[in-house]
Amino acid sequence: MFYVVMPAVGAIIDGFLLSQLDSNAITLGLIWLCVGVGVLGIITKGFRKAPPEMVMEEKEAALV
């Protein structure tokens, strides 16, 4: 039950926050999303390959 309620609460909060954004912010966010999907499409050769995995070494992981 907890694994359903908490994501639902998060989705409600996200929805509220998104509804409060200015239209310019929403437009810019959608453009950024489209650019990201486009880059992913190029990297995966039209979504036919698996996306690359991010590998971090211990030194890099400690910084994050």
pLDDT tens track for 4-63: 999 999 999 999 999 999 999 999 999 999 999 999 999 999 999 999 898 877 776 566
Are the CB atoms for 40 and 46 separated by under 8 Å?
no
CA angle at 44 for the pair 42 and 48, rounded to the nearest 5°: 120
Q: Which residues contact 49 (CB under 8 A, 6 or more apart)?
A: 43
Examine the pLDDT at 64 and tell me if it is beyond 80.
no
Distance CA 44, CA 42 (A): 5
DSSP one-letter code for 53: P
Instruction: State the pLDDT at residue 62.
Output: 63
Q: Which residue has the tokens 């694994």?
A: 3
Residues listed for the chain? 64
